[in-house]
Amino acid sequence: MEKVLDLRGAVCPIPVLKTKEALEGLDKGEVLEVLLDYPPAKENVKRFVQSQGHEVLSVEEEAGLIRLRIRKK
């Protein structure tokens, strides 16, 4: 199952904090999809996730929407 976290409209540090909270609520191996529209959040969330040992499965951008898929380790 994949959980979706819609953070469109949120600016840093909110996307990182909300992603951290969402990952804490997942079981190992589950996937979290994070939706962003604030470009600096893409790198901030990605960097945070990797620093915590989780896996960034994909980063897609289309028409101002950034979609990160993260697997909890």
CATH number for 23: 3.30.110.40
DSSP secondary structure letters along 24-38: HTSPTT-EEEEEE--
Whether 12 is catalytic: yes
The pLDDT of residue 2: 84
CB 38 within 8 A of CB 70: no
| Predicted confidence (pLDDT) per residue in 9-62, tens digit | 999 999 999 999 999 999 999 999 999 999 999 999 999 999 999 999 999 999
Q: State how many domains the chain has.
A: 1
Of the residues 4, 12, 14, 17, only one is catalytic, namely: 12
Q: Please count the other Cβ atoms lying within 10 Å of the Cβ belonging to residue 16.
A: 18
Tokens of 15: 């996307």
Q: Which domain holds residue 24?
A: 2-71
- Residue 1 predicted with pLDDT over 80: no
